[in-house]
Amino acid sequence: MSGEKTISRWLPAWRGALAALPIFAGAAIAQVPALVAYEIDGDEIRAPFAAAGDAGRGRAIVLSRESGNCYLCHAVPDAGAVPVGNIGPSLAGVGARASAAQLRLRVVDSSRINARSVMPAYYRVEGLRQVAAVYRDKPLLTAQQVEDVVAYLSQLRN
């Protein structure tokens, strides 16, 4: 029950914060190629979506206001001077706690792991509600960006 109250208390602030950011507020979105088909097996998506991810690009996405925005809710271990959030769990050590396949599913659609998750689905377009017309049928990240984020998160082992 206390977890429900915590989520209920933070959810309005989280939605307001996302609405204020360019990625969620109607900034121009590039045309995105068709989604890569994937299969969920338990708590993971085993097959990569694209070429091997680049951890440097993944870090940039995680700390970007224009794409990932992960730092809004998560503490990021090497964020430097970027202020970080505390709504979601810290990303410190996430690569030691979860495999690349598990991380991939969490980035794609964390609600498949936890139906009450407030984390956006970064690579799901169906079944979403209250999506602005400019964002309909477009994932927040491309297939390659998902792999880049997974590569970055996988290296966070401490």
Mean pLDDT across the chain? 84
- Name the CATH architecture for the domain at 2-155: Orthogonal Bundle (1.10)
The C-alpha atoms of residue 69 and residue 158 are separated, in whole angstroms, by 22
Q: For the whole model, what pTM was predicted?
A: 0.78
Instruction: For residue 70, give Cα distances in angstroms to 42, 86, 87, 123.
Output: 24, 11, 11, 14
Confidence of residue 5 (pLDDT cuts 50, 70, 90): very low
The C-alpha atoms of residue 116 and residue 53 are separated, in whole angstroms, by 28
pLDDT tens-digit series, residues 85-140: 999 999 999 999 999 999 999 999 999 999 999 999 999 998 888 888 888 889 99
